[in-house]
């Protein structure tokens, strides 16, 4: 269990804060409970492994009863995996630190500091002990299925790094501040008595738990972790706490008759990120634009698949009927079976046993294909790839612009969530000195002067940002084609107008969409190189002129040279 900065409790004040927080948590879970049937219904058809919101399963129970098609599950799986690969591509620097306002990034020292900070952040989140990839990958599936996912990212137990965890939506209830930002989290945690004793001390556990500890140390019980903004008025003058902490975490026993608050911890920043996709006015919990619209058709597809299987079975093994009085004894309708027919039966009347031609799977198969196509659109399968094929620069530009408009609802919320997550991790890593010693005034030692007082945030690479960069490439190609057309006119006025285009700015913007940033020279290095080239060219031209004059002088008539020198002397 990961937690921050636990302090020795003062029992009376701690219990009062704990019980007050638990009452608020009970109210939050009561408000959350109205969503559980919806999440259960979505999970049963799209994510059966998570279908334990209103039902209880054992660890090894099969959760696929009543499912006749895997199509909804495949759509959820592919959508979640694709999103993860697109917004967090491994092997690419998909996020980078940047300073605001933008003009600060023109300073070389600021650029270098931000580049180093980006490398440090990548080392933090991709440390194997951080479990970042596992937690974010699991959250992608919650995000696609339910429209929201909860990620915890406190320090680990040793305070040596960040630990990422994807929490079950069933176990989390949260509330928002006046700006609509989630700043209070109530989490139900199942822990063993041994785990709780190691975290808080055996003496802090309720008496009935202590009595069971010796014989049943692995027995699990429920705690509620209440993380909420620090209220200064709730702490007495003799109570220890971390003055710089902005959030407190109270650990309260749930399934016991005794009111017990086991401990309290403090966070410098909110240790949760709630990923939210589509909001509905008046609801605190986001919805999924995929499963919300696909739920009805997915149920219909499941029923259709059941009917299709029944129809195929009818065709493969149709029901039989026989002529009255034609059969003697039981019918053995199996391979190699023998059925006795009355010897007086008139075979001219037809076979004594016939199959009933009922069921037509073809109609169900056609309907199934239509449903699958509709479900694919519900899961944005038509938007997950940029347009391909041979196209003119104008067509490419128009197609990418259309893609950007249509894909914005998918990726824009994710960019904001990525920013919230990384900003929180940055604050927590900074407090531990990951980017330099934090001085008493809160400033990082060695921070460039241009960054002092600036807002450090994070930018992200997503398919949407990639599309916008590719659109700049297409626009540059259009400009280049137009310039070539002007040159082809051989009209001097048209050619002279070309200098209205800032080719340096246009080319740099275009290259940012098609090449790594370190392939481009810095503007100051480019200008210095151009200056050096111009000076070298001028020097070469001067030397060439001097050589030409020398040759002319060597071939000149001496008398003419004397007369020229005399004239120049008189003029002087």
Q: What pLDDT does residue 286 have? A: 94
Q: Are 409 and 380 in contact (CB under 8 A)?
A: no
pLDDT digits (tens, 9 = 90+) for 94-112: 888 888 888 888 787 888 8
- How far apart CA 371 and CA 367 sit, in angstroms, is 6
Share of the chain above pLDDT 70, in %: 86
What percent of the residues of the chain are helix, what percent strand, and what percent coil, each to the nearest 5? 55, 15, 30
For the ranges 7-11, 183-187, 198-202, 291-295, the lowest mean pLDDT is seen at 7-11
Q: What pLDDT does residue 10 have? A: 52
Beta bridge partner(s), residue 185: 174, 227
Q: Kindly give, in sequence order, each residue whose CB lies less than 8 Å from that of residue 431, ignoring residues fewer than 6 positions away.
A: 268, 438
Split at pLDDT 50, 70, 90, the class of 337 is confident
Split at pLDDT 50, 70, 90, the class of 9 is low
Rounded to an integer, the average pLDDT of 539-555 is 76
Q: Are 131 and 154 in contact (CB under 8 A)?
A: no
**N residues, the chain:** 572
Split at pLDDT 50, 70, 90, the class of 384 is low
Say if residue 101 is preceded by a cis peptide, omega within 30 of 0.
yes
pLDDT digits (tens, 9 = 90+) for 153-173: 998 888 888 999 999 999 999
For the ranges 216-225, 492-501, 516-525, the lowest mean pLDDT is seen at 516-525
Beta bridge partner(s), residue 253: 223
Reply yes or no on whether the pLDDT at 141 is more than 60.
yes
Rounded to an integer, the average pLDDT of 455-463 is 79
Split at pLDDT 50, 70, 90, the class of 564 is low
Q: Are 321 and 354 in contact (CB under 8 A)?
A: yes
For residues 74, 76, 81, 85, the Cα torsion angle rounded to the nearest 10 degrees is: 130
Helix-helix angle 393-431:71-87, to 10 degrees: 80
Split at pLDDT 50, 70, 90, the class of 1 is very low
Reply yes or no on whether the pLDDT at 471 is more than 80.
no
pTM: 0.77
Q: Are 249 and 3 in contact (CB under 8 A)?
A: yes
Task: Name the nearest CA neighbour of 271 among 391, 157, 428.
Answer: 428
Q: Are 430 and 456 in contact (CB under 8 A)?
A: no
Q: CA 327 from chain center: how many Å?
A: 68
Rounded to an integer, the average pLDDT of 451-463 is 81
Q: Are 328 and 343 in contact (CB under 8 A)?
A: no
Q: What pLDDT does residue 160 have? A: 85
- How far apart CA 29 and CA 24 sit, in angstroms, is 9
For the ranges 185-194, 308-317, 325-334, 536-545, the lowest mean pLDDT is seen at 325-334
Q: Kindly give, in sequence order, each residue whose CB lies less than 8 Å from that of residue 547, ignoring residues fewer than 6 positions away.
A: none
Helix (H, G, I), strand (E, B) or coil at 459: strand
Q: Are 262 and 228 in contact (CB under 8 A)?
A: no
Reply yes or no on whether the pLDDT at 518 is more than 70.
no
Instruction: Kindly state the tokens that stand for 369.
Output: 């294909």
Reply yes or no on whether the pLDDT at 301 is more than 90.
yes
**Residue found by looking up tokens 């980006």 in the block:** 118
For the ranges 127-136, 247-256, 330-339, the lowest mean pLDDT is seen at 330-339
pLDDT digits (tens, 9 = 90+) for 165-199: 999 999 999 999 999 999 999 999 999 999 999 99
- Give Cα separations from 182 to 172, 451, 566 (angstroms): 12, 29, 93
Q: Are 39 and 53 in contact (CB under 8 A)?
A: yes
Mean pLDDT of the chain, nearest integer: 84
Q: What pLDDT does residue 177 have? A: 94
Helix (H, G, I), strand (E, B) or coil at 247: strand
pLDDT digits (tens, 9 = 90+) for 18-48: 999 999 999 999 999 999 999 999 999 999 9
Task: Name the nearest CA neighbour of 304 among 27, 512, 68, 481.
Answer: 68
Split at pLDDT 50, 70, 90, the class of 524 is confident
Q: Are 402 and 101 in contact (CB under 8 A)?
A: no
pLDDT digits (tens, 9 = 90+) for 124-134: 999 999 999 99
End-to-end CA distance of the chain: 95
- How far apart CA 116 and CA 110 sit, in angstroms, is 10
Reply yes or no on whether the pLDDT at 120 is more than 70.
yes
Dihedral (CA of 254, 258, 262, 268) sign: positive
Q: What pLDDT does residue 48 have? A: 95
Q: Kindly give, in sequence order, each residue whose CB lies less than 8 Å from that of residue 287, ignoring residues fewer than 6 positions away.
A: 146, 147, 277, 278, 279, 280
- How far apart CA 486 and CA 103 sit, in angstroms, is 35
Instruction: Kindly state the tokens that stand for 78.
Output: 């592919």
Q: What pLDDT does residue 341 have? A: 84
Share of the chain above pLDDT 90, in %: 38
Alpha helical stretches, state H, 161-221: 193-200, 207-213
Higher pLDDT, 152 or 401: 152
């Amino acid at each position: 269990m990961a937690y921050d900065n636990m302090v020795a409790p003062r029992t009376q004040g701690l219990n009062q804060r704990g019980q007050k927080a638990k009452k608020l948590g009970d109210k939050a879970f009561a408000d959350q409970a109205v969503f559980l049937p919806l999440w259960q219904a979505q999970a049963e058809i799209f994510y059966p492994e998570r279908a334990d919101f209103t039902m209880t399963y054992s660890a090894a129970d099969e959760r696929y009863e009543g499912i006749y098609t895997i199509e909804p599950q495949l759509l959820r799986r592919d959508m979640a995996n694709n999103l993860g690969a697109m917004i967090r591509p491994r092997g690419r620097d998909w996020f980078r630190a940047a300073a605001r306002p933008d003009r600060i990034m023109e300073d070389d020292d600021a650029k270098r500091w931000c580049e180093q900070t980006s490398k440090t952040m990548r080392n933090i989140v991709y440390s194997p002990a951080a479990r970042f990839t596992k937690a974010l990958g699991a959250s992608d599936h919650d995000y696609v299925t339910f429209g929201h996912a909860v990620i915890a990212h406190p320090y680990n137990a040793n305070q040596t790094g960040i630990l990422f965890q994807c929490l079950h939506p069933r176990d989390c209830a949260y509330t928002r501040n006046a700006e609509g930002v989630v700043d209070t989290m109530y989490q139900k945690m199942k822990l063993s008595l041994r785990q709780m004793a190691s975290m808080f001390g055996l003496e802090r556990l309720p008496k009935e738990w202590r009595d069971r500890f010796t014989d049943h140390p692995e027995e699990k019980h429920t705690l509620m972790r209440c993380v909420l903004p620090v209220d200064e008025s709730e702490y007495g003058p003799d109570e220890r706490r971390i003055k710089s902490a902005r959030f407190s975490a109270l650990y309260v026993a749930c399934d016991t008759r005794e009111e017990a608050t086991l401990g309290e911890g403090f966070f410098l920043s909110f240790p949760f990120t709630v990923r939210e996709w589509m909001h509905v006015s008046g609801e605190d919990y986001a919805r999924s634009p995929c499963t919300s619209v696909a739920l009805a058709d997915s149920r219909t597809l499941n029923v259709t698949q059941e009917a299709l299987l029944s129809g195929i079975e009818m065709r493969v093994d149709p029901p039989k009927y026989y002529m009255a009085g034609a059969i003697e004894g039981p019918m053995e309708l199996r391979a190699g079976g023998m059925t006795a027919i009355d010897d007086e039966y008139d075979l001219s009347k037809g076979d004594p046993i016939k199959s009933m031609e009922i069921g037509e799977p073809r109609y169900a198969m056609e309907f199934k294909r239509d449903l699958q196509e509709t479900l694919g659109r519900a899961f944005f399968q038509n938007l997950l790839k940029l347009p391909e094929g041979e196209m003119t620069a104008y067509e490419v530009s128009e197609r990418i612009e259309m893609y950007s408009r249509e894909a914005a609802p998918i990726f824009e919320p994710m960019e904001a969530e990525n920013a919230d997550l990384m900003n929180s991790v940055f604050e927590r890593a900074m407090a531990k000195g990951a980017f330099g010693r934090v001085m008493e005034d809160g400033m990082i030692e060695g921070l460039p002067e241009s960054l002092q007082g600036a807002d450090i945030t994070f930018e992200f690479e997503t398919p949407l940002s990639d599309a916008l960069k590719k659109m700049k490439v297409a626009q540059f190609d259009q400009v280049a084609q137009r310039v070539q057309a002007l040159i082809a006119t051989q009209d001097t006025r048209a050619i002279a107008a070309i200098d209205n285009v800032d080719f340096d700015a246009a080319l740099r913007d275009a290259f940012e969409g098609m090449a790594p940033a370190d392939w481009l020279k810095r503007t100051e290095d480019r200008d210095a190189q151009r200056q050096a080239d111009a000076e070298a060219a001028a020097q070469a031209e001067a030397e060439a002129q001097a050589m030409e004059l020398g040759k002319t002088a060597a071939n000149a008539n001496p008398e003419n040279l004397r007369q020229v020198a005399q004239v120049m002397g008189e003029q002087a």
